[in-house]
Chain A
């Protein structure tokens, strides 16, 4: 059974700091991995999607990496800003068949202090 874990559960950093959020999954047979952001009481905003054949994706100050063999992904946020404060979720899609649903981690709640 696929399980997704995110560590730490919460993180507080001063503005301007570079930071890394971690995501691990137990079954390396994934189709892709997607990072989301969720603001309080809101839906999910897709940040980056990494196909299983890719090693990383970049968008602006965000960089996500994927190591399928070790079951790990990281989300790197450069020069953090207070507006980055949110919960960050990673989710994987299982490979093959009709298993197209996302399996989520519990998220990392990020607080960036001015």
Chain B
């Protein structure tokens, strides 16, 4: 079974631009979560989608948004990029979302390395 895939793997943007990252979960997984990893803050939760609905959201500004499609693929968008948005963006999928007694075991993709200049 194929793992979580993320595209693109690397991206360089300039301040003020916007960017869209894509994530394809493991087949059959309906929950997709996004995380930002920086050297200073570590891994921080951005948001989670389940069945095309945002179920949970971290403490990030409104410039960060996402969506999920009917095939469970997800995209996240960052508008008006700032230098501090430079990070590794990781996507994770799991079989089920919150509110169930499933394990929540999450499987991560390789990430998208975003550099903002």
User: Which A residues have a C-beta under 8 Å from some C-beta of B?
Assistant: 31-32, 34, 36, 41-46, 49, 51, 89, 91, 93, 97-107
Bound-state Cα–Cα, A93 to B45, Å: 11
Q: Measured between C-beta atoms, what is the minimum distance from B104 to chain A in Å?
A: 5
Bound-state Cα–Cα, A62 to B106, Å: 19
Q: Measured between C-beta atoms, what is the minimum distance from B77 to chain A in Å?
A: 19
User: Which B residues have a C-beta under 8 Å from some C-beta of A?
Assistant: 4, 6, 31, 33, 35, 42-45, 48, 55-56, 58, 88, 90, 92, 94, 97-99, 103-111, 113
Residues of B within 8 A of A100 (CB): 31, 33, 48, 55-56, 94, 97-99, 104
Q: A43-B90, A100-B56 are in contact. Are A31 and B104 (CB under 8 A)?
A: yes
Q: A43-B110, A98-B56, A106-B42 are in contact. Are A49 and B105 (CB under 8 A)?
A: yes
Residues of B within 8 A of A103 (CB): 45
Contact A89 B43 (CB under 8 A): yes
Query: What are 24 A-B contacts defined by CB distance under 8 Å?
Result: A34-B105, A41-B88, A41-B113, A42-B110, A43-B111, A44-B90, A46-B106, A46-B107, A46-B108, A49-B103, A51-B103, A91-B43, A93-B104, A98-B56, A98-B97, A98-B98, A99-B56, A100-B48, A100-B56, A100-B97, A100-B98, A102-B45, A103-B45, A105-B42
Q: Measured between C-beta atoms, what is the minimum distance from A53 to chain B in Å?
A: 11
